Structures are given as C-alpha cells and as structure tokens.
Amino acid sequence: MNSVFEIIGPAMVGPSSSHTAGAVRIGLLARQLLGEAPVKVHIGLHGSFAATGKGHATDRGLIAGLLLWQPDDERLKDAIPLAEAGGMQISFEAVDLGETAHPNTARLELECAGGRRFTLTAASVGGGNVEVSEVDGFATLLSGSLDTLVAWHQDKPGFLAHVTAILACVSANIATIRTARRHRGSGALTVVELDAPPEPEVAALLAKIDHVERVRVLARLL
Amino acid sequence: MSTHFSKATELLALCEQHGKPICEITLEREIADTGTPREAIVERMTRYYGLMRESVHKGLAIDSLSPSGLSGGDARKLHAYSQSAAPLFGSQFARTIAYGFAVLETNAAFGRIVATPTAGSAGIVPACLLSLQETHGLSDEDAGRALFTAAGVGHIIGANACFSGAQGGCQAEVGSASSMAAAAIVEATGGTPQQALNAAAFALMNTLGLVCDPIGGYVEVPCVSRNGMYAVHSFLAATMALANARCVVPFDDVVIAMRDIGRRMPRALKETAEGGLATTPTGLRFPPAPAGAPARKKS
C-alpha cells in the first residue's frame, strides 16, 4: 500500500470495490494503454469475477473504464448499452486461467478501428486496487497507483540507458522499472513507475529512441 | 524522520518515540510516501468524510428494494425505531445500526459510497464516526482525523494480510473495517495508541473465520445487516480497550491468524456464491448470473 487512499477509498459507485471499482480501473488502464476507444471488446472472466460478476456489475465496470469513466461515475449501471450505442461490440465469457491466477482476474482482448489488437490481463486484488500482469503477451506488473510510462520497443542494447538518461534529465525518480521480452532481440515492453507525473515532453523524447514503437503515459489512478 | 510501519509494534514505537497519536503518524507517513502536501491530503480525506455522510443520508431515505430485490428500506425502519418510545439500549444503538445499513443500501442501489476498506464493508467506519459525532461532540475535523487512525490500522492489515473477500473471506472485509473503526473510536475519544491497537485486536479477533457467502453474489445478504451489526461491534471492542481489558493476543498476531484462516478457507466460501447462505434453499432462489449474461427476469 502506498497511500491511505488505497484503504479509505476509492469514492465509487457500488456494489463491490473489488468487483465493480476494481473492474472500472482495469478498464481505465486498458483504455489508456490502448490510447483510443476499442471497437471490439472480448473479455474473459476468471474465478470469482466469472462466478459473481453479474451481481457485482463487473461487466459494466470494465466497460465503464473502457469509456474512460471514473469509479464514482453514476452512469455505471448503463455502461454497456451506452458503449454499444457508440459502436462498441462487446462479448464476455467465463475462462479458467488456472490455479495460480488471482480469483478476480479479467483478460481483455481489444481491437481498434484500424485493426490493431491489444491484450491485457489484470486482477482486482481488493479494496479497488488492481494489478496488471500481462500486456500484449508480455509478462509485467503495474498497479496504476503511481504515474507510469509504458514503452513498446525492440530488445536492443542500450535501450534502458536511453530511458534512464531522459528521466534523469528531468529529475524524475524511478520507483520501479521492468522490461519483458518474448525472446532475445524480439519485441519488448518496458514499464516505468515514477513518484511524480513526468514532464509533458518526456513521452515525445522516449518515442525518439531508436526501435521504440509506442509510448504511453498513464496518470496515477484517482 | 521515517514514519514507515508495517506492524503494530512498529507503529506503537513511532507513536511513543514522537509522542504522537496513530492518526498523526499515519498522516506524516502519507506526506512522506506520496510527496503530497499535508493540506491536500487532509482536504481529500475531509471530502471523503462528506461523501460517507451523504451515503448514510441517502440510504436512510431509501424506501424501495434494490435491483436484486434482496435489500432496501431497512435502514429507514431502524432509524424510525430509534426514535420510538423506548428503543433497546437507547436510541443511539439503533441509530448506529441504521447508519451501517444505510451505506450498504446506497451501495446496493448503485449509489456513491467510499470503500472503507471495501464497498462490502463501507458502512462500518462511517456509522461509528457519525454516531460518535452525535454522542461525543466530535467536529468534522476530529472525524476526519479519526479516518487517519483507521487507515493506520488498515496499513498493517494490508501489509500482512488482505482486504478482499475473494481472498480472505468476510473477516478480511468486515473484520478489517470493524478493527479500523474500533481503533478510530478509541483515539477520537482520548484513548492511547496502545488502547487503539488493542481495540483493533479485540474487533478482528472476534471476526476470525467469517466467510463471504452472499446470496446470489450480491453485496446484500448478509452484507447489509452485517455492516449495521459490526458497527456496534466496533463500539464493543473500543469499550473493552478503553476499560483496559487484557488483550492477550496483540494485533499483529491476530492479523497473522486472519491471513492464515483466509488461506485455509474453502474457495466455495470466498465470494463465489458456491456455498453457505448462497446455496441454501432461500439462497438458490437468487442464483448468480454469469457476467455479461442478460439481466435475469424477476419471477
């Protein structure tokens, strides 16, 4: 826990912090990582999310987050019809992600209008707090409780040195940094959690590093 | 100065070393950990307290059933009973229960609440503090400060166990909330940090083993009544602590027990609606629908 507001909070629309507010936050993180509204959404629900998700509005929460609504948005109960009216195709299924998966886990498969696909696996770990464990097939770990930079790039020597040099120039303190790759020299994903919001130009500077495909800045969850 | 703590023993040592209560040590920790100015943190907590009060008032006015049909209207009945001629244990007793009910009825009606520490346990801390404001003349500022006491206790639970019913059962939700509230009551009424942590220990110890088996998976039965009842329970624990009743098992050990019991608790009793109340003949009349399925027709 970083903050008292992970214990007292979030301010949210019911009925469940883990199944509703946590679901909104998973949707919010996915939407921010994607950078645009998805047109096709397929969501696998595991464990307690699958068993009791309907009564807890887990499905509506996830879609509300994909619409960039906050957990205290009172439109939550109407999220699915409103999203569908906006052209989003939505489907859900119960999935079994195995014994080791957290009981409140969702796996999101999203598709943009341009055809780009995106996947994210995240768990709602209690009290509205969440943990993302997979992005686009890369094993990772991010909670959204800190300001976060995410870069999709090629696995090349010196990449992290460029990242840390840019962050050093703007005096941004790195709380955690994690790089995952498929295999040597392949695509990779780096997640950097910071103690404060980065200067606005940081994302553009990171995007200029050789072999960087995409950079996203996630504001810490409210 | 480091104000970090993950155990009650460390928190007590910090309180003694600096001569400060739990609420102040917790606030100083927040400033250090997040880099947020004191005023902004206090302002946000005060705003949350306002939202808690709104969720109580909103719930007291509910006179219809929730979408599931499982709850609604009981906070109002309890509040009316508290104003009757000779309510049991005096009017404050029923009022406190009504406040706990009210938050959860608001929650079940898709209203706005503050998860404290979770939505399913969101009624307990607000019910206790609102009630205490009426009986002990606490200002809103005092109540806001008491939320930092509650959060300090929450930090210890979060670091050593968990808050989620799916992982730890109801003891992790309502048990945590009741222990946080008990400590907050003690400190807000002039008790010492040791007494506050004893209250937290008494409260959590008496919720060990509480399972999460809500009917149909809805956060309503038994959650709504449990929030009313465990608000009163927090006052029981606080009373024992303020009277200096002997606390044999310290809070840190009770948290270890809670974690251990949560791990051994069968999955069917951890927010899956696969056992307990959820699978009784009554419970089966409200089966959980899988997420994404069309809303169930009311028969």
pLDDT of residue A80 exceeding 50, the answer is yes
Residue type, B12: L
pLDDT given for residue B290 in this prediction: 55
In the stretch 98-127 of chain B, residues with CB closer than 8 A to chain A read 106-120, 122, 125
pLDDT of residue B292 exceeding 60, the answer is no
pLDDT band at B1 (very low <50, low <70, confident <90, very high): low
> Is any Cβ of chain A less than 8 angstroms from the Cβ of B146?
no
Nearest chain B residue (CA) to A106:
B291
Among A103, A144, A106, A107, residue whose Cα is nearest residue A2: A144
Average of per-residue pLDDT across A67-90: 96
Strand partners, A138: A135
pLDDT band at B56 (very low <50, low <70, confident <90, very high): very high
pLDDT of residue B288 exceeding 80, the answer is no
Interface test mutation site (partner B, options A24, A52, A102, max chain B beta carbons within 10 A): A52
What CA–CA distance (Å, rounded) separates B109 from B63? 11
- Chain A hits for B147, CB-CB cut-off 8 Å, are 4, 8
Among A215, A151, A155, residue whose Cα is nearest residue A177: A151
What CA–CA distance (Å, rounded) separates B109 from B105? 6
Q: What percent of chain B has pLDDT over 70?
A: 96
Nearest to A59 among B34, B45, B292 (CB): B292
Residues 6+ apart with CB under 8 A from B235: B96, B128, B131, B182, B185
**β-sheet with A138-142: strand ranges across:** A89-95, A40-47, A104-111, A117-126, A129-135, A138-142
Average of per-residue pLDDT across A46-59: 86
pLDDT of residue B120 exceeding 70, the answer is yes
Helices marked H in B116-246:
124-136, 140-160, 165-168, 170, 176-188, 193-205, 223-242
Q: What percent of chain A has pLDDT over 90?
A: 85
Cβ-defined contact of A9 to B68 (cutoff 8 Å): no
Q: How far apart are the first and last CA of chain A?
A: 14
Among A50, A140, A42, A58, residue whose Cα is nearest residue A103: A50
- Chain A hits for B271, CB-CB cut-off 8 Å, are 48, 51-52, 103
Cβ-defined contact of B162 to A125 (cutoff 8 Å): yes
Average pLDDT for chain A? 94
pLDDT of residue B298 exceeding 60, the answer is no
> Is any Cβ of chain A less than 8 angstroms from the Cβ of B26?
yes
- Chain B hits for A104, CB-CB cut-off 8 Å, are 164, 166
The whole-angstrom distance between A26's CA and the closest CA on chain B is 16
Strand-strand pairing, A212-218 and A104-111: unpaired
Cβ-defined contact of B119 to A20 (cutoff 8 Å): yes
Q: Please provide residue B198's backbone torsions phi and psi, each rounded to the nearest 5 degrees.
A: -65, -40
Average of per-residue pLDDT across A177-197: 94
Distance set, CA A166 to CA A137, A159, A160 (Å): 27, 11, 10
The token duo for B59 is 């719930």
Average of per-residue pLDDT across A50-70: 91
Give the residue with greater pLDDT, B249 vs B294.
Answer: B249
pLDDT given for residue B71 in this prediction: 96
pLDDT of residue A187 exceeding 50, the answer is yes
pLDDT of residue B73 exceeding 60, the answer is yes
Number of CB atoms found within 10 A of residue B198's CB? 27
pLDDT band at B296 (very low <50, low <70, confident <90, very high): very low
Helix (H) or strand (E) holding A47: strand A40-47
Among A21, A24, A71, residue whose Cα is nearest residue B120: A21
Distance set, CA A32 to CA A29, A101, A190, B268 (Å): 5, 24, 16, 35
> Is any Cβ of chain A less than 8 angstroms from the Cβ of B68?
yes
Q: Please provide residue A111's backbone torsions phi and psi, each rounded to the nearest 5 degrees.
A: -135, 135
pLDDT given for residue B297 in this prediction: 34
> 């109801």: which residue's tokens?
B170
Cβ-defined contact of A15 to B290 (cutoff 8 Å): no
Average pLDDT for chain B? 94
Number of CB atoms found within 10 A of residue A165's CB? 12
Average of per-residue pLDDT across A36-55: 91
pLDDT given for residue A53 in this prediction: 82
Cβ-defined contact of A11 to B274 (cutoff 8 Å): no
Interface ipTM: 0.93
Residues 6+ apart with CB under 8 A from A164: A174, A177
Sequence length of chain A is 222
In the stretch 237-276 of chain B, residues with CB closer than 8 A to chain A read 267, 270-274
pLDDT of residue B295 exceeding 50, the answer is no
Cβ-defined contact of B148 to A17 (cutoff 8 Å): no
pLDDT of residue A203 exceeding 50, the answer is yes
Instruction: Judge whether A105 and A49 are in contact, CB under 8 Å.
Output: yes
Report DSSP state, residue B70.
S
For chain B, list the strands marked E by DSSP: 112-114
Instruction: Judge whether A134 and A158 are in contact, CB under 8 Å.
Output: no
pLDDT of residue B130 exceeding 50, the answer is yes
pLDDT given for residue B299 in this prediction: 30
pLDDT given for residue A18 in this prediction: 87
pLDDT given for residue A54 in this prediction: 78
pLDDT given for residue B289 in this prediction: 58
Interface test mutation site (partner B, options A17, A42, A63, A221, max chain B beta carbons within 10 A): A17
Nearest to B164 among A6, A59, A125 (CB): A125
Q: Is A171 left (phi over 0), alpha (psi -120 to 50) or beta?
A: left
Q: Is B9 left (phi over 0), alpha (psi -120 to 50) or beta?
A: alpha
Cβ-defined contact of B164 to A10 (cutoff 8 Å): no
pLDDT in tens, B86-112: 999 999 999 999 999 999 999 999 999
pTM of the model: 0.88
pLDDT of residue A1 exceeding 70, the answer is no
pLDDT band at B83 (very low <50, low <70, confident <90, very high): very high
Residue B239 C-alpha from the chain's centroid: 17
- Chain B hits for A23, CB-CB cut-off 8 Å, are none
pLDDT band at A48 (very low <50, low <70, confident <90, very high): confident
Q: SS3 string of A72-89?
A: CCCCHHHHHHHHHHCCCE
Strand partners, A109: A42, A119
